[in-house]
Amino acid sequence: MHLSSFFMKGRTVNRKTFAKKRTVKYTEKTMNSTNKASIINGKEIALAARERVKAEAASLRSKHGVDPALVVVLVGTNPASKVYVRNKGKACEEAGVRSIQHDLPEETTQAELLLLIARLNADPQVHGILVQLPLPGHIDEHIVLEAISPRKDVDGFHPYNMGRLVAGTPQLVPCTPYGVMRMLEFIGYDLTGKDAVIIGRSNIVGKPMALMLLHKSATVTICHSKTKDLPAKVRAADLVVAAIGREQFVKGGWIKPGAVVIDVGINRTTSGGLVGEVHFDAASQRASFITPVPGGVGPMTIAMLLENTITAARLAIGHKAKA
């Protein structure tokens, strides 16, 4: 059973871990005693997911002799990318997933990078491959991402994996929207018939997020920089997913009373603090549930990367058995 397939019709998810930790469940009128939104704690949900990954990794080693391994490729010295890669390595270590890192210089050619990816694709000891974005300007990231084997594409960006998501038969899915679905599952939010607005149309979040919500029978609207009267569309939404890449873009007054608000963005202010794409304090006065920044969607993205690595290891076992 594919670990990420809980959001697809006819497939299941192990809810025991969620049930132990869930303290507040969504209802149509959910608000806490202070009339502020309840916080969806991404750190807590991610911790449960990572504990599950650790158990799965141990099972793969004991039952199949497979040591799940994730390779991260970093090209250049982008400071934010270095932090992300370090955090991923730490998360792997804590979850019992073997982490391998390839640090390549800024001047690495596209041909050299593709050669490395080809070697990693052919290595049976490597189950997941992640090329950290952004890449230097002289390298075409689309060509690079398509060079990764779909069975090792733990970012879920390969056209094959995106196509399977469109068709409703997911294999490896983009980590951030996958994490958002887990958060909605955690609070018991039934998406059937809900009006969902996604602000942002990227291949990384917006588009796959829309597909995942659609598969759960939500009515989905994707908004973007050219959308007319965006505030009105947001005010009509039962669920708002902000992923447009603009600091505190969504105003509190745009939020429909009782709506669920998922803030995907993270931005550093001039004072050094971190904020999302939603005016948190104002939105909290109207929403029923809201994700914080930091501590919301961010931890879930890394946790889902680990789950995808476990899925890729299981795919490798199945592929070997058929060979």
Higher-pLDDT residue of 12 and 150 is 150
Q: Please state, in angstroms and rounded to a whole number, the distance separating the CA atoms of residues 99 and 87.
A: 11
Residues of the chain with CATH 3.40.50.10860: 65-162
| Tens digit of each residue's pLDDT (9 = 90 or more) over 117-153 | 999 999 999 999 999 999 999 999 999 999 999 999 9
Assess whether pLDDT exceeds 70 at residue 244. Answer: yes
Tokens in use for 136?
């230097």
Q: Is the pLDDT of residue 2 over 90?
A: no
Cα three-residue angle 305-306-312, rounded to 5 degrees: 90
Question: What are 104's strand-pairing partners?
Answer: 75
The residues annotated as belonging to the active site are 88, 132, 155
Tokens of 316: 């490798």
Q: What is the CA radius of gyration of the chain?
A: 20
Contact yes or no for 134/145 (Cβ under 8 A): no
pLDDT tens figures, 255-293? 999 999 999 999 888 888 999 999 999 999 999 999 999
Using DSSP's 3-state secondary structure scheme, residue 250 falls into strand
Please give the Cα distance from 267 to 274 (Å, whole number): 5
Superfamily (CATH) of domain 15-40+187-299: NAD(P)-binding Rossmann-like Domain (3.40.50.720)
Contact 200, 180 (CB under 8 A): no
pLDDT at 233 > cutoff 60: yes
pLDDT digits (tens, 9 = 90+) for 77-97: 999 899 999 999 999 999 999
Q: Helix 42-64 and helix 175-186: axis angle, to 10°?
A: 110
Question: How deeply is 75 buried, as exposed, middle or buried, from its count of CB atoms within 10 A (0-12, 13-18, 19+)?
Answer: buried
Whether this prediction's pTM lies above 0.75 is answered by yes
Would you state the pLDDT for residue 270? 87
- In a 10 Å sphere around its CB, with 0-12 CB exposed, 13-18 middle and 19+ buried, how is residue 14 labelled? exposed
pLDDT of residue 5: 42
Region of poorest pLDDT, from 15-19, 114-118, 217-221, 315-319: 15-19
- The token duo for 66 is 């497979």
For CA atoms 179, 180, 186, 192, the dihedral sign is negative
Residue 97 CB neighbours (<10 A): 27
> Amino acid letter at 30?
T
User: What number of CA atoms fall less than 13 Å from residue 111's CA on the CB side?
Assistant: 0
Tens digits of residue pLDDT in 59-79: 999 999 999 999 999 999 999
Question: Alpha-carbon distance 13 to 29, whole Å?
Answer: 26
Say if residues 228 and 200 touch (Cβ distance below 8 Å).
no
65-162 has which CATH code?
Answer: 3.40.50.10860
Looking at residue 25, its pLDDT comes to 67
Could you tell me which residue, 29 or 263, shows the higher pLDDT? 263
Contact 94/56 with Cβ under 8 angstroms? no
Other CB atoms within a 10 A radius of the CB of residue 24 amount to: 15
pLDDT attached to residue 14: 42
Give the side-chain half-sphere CA count within 13 A for 314. 17
Q: Look up residue 20 and give its amino acid.
A: K
Task: Report yes or no: 220 and 261 within 8 Å, Cβ to Cβ.
Answer: no
* CATH 3.40.50.720 residue ranges for the chain: 15-40+187-299
pLDDT band at 30 (very low <50, low <70, confident <90, very high): low
pLDDT for 184 equals 98
- 20 falls in which pLDDT band (50, 70, 90)? very low
Q: Is the pLDDT of residue 98 over 90?
A: yes
Range from 6-20, 93-107, 112-126, 195-209 carrying the lowest mean pLDDT: 6-20
Contact at 8 Å (CB) between 4 and 307? yes
Q: Which residue has the higher pLDDT, 92 or 15?
A: 92
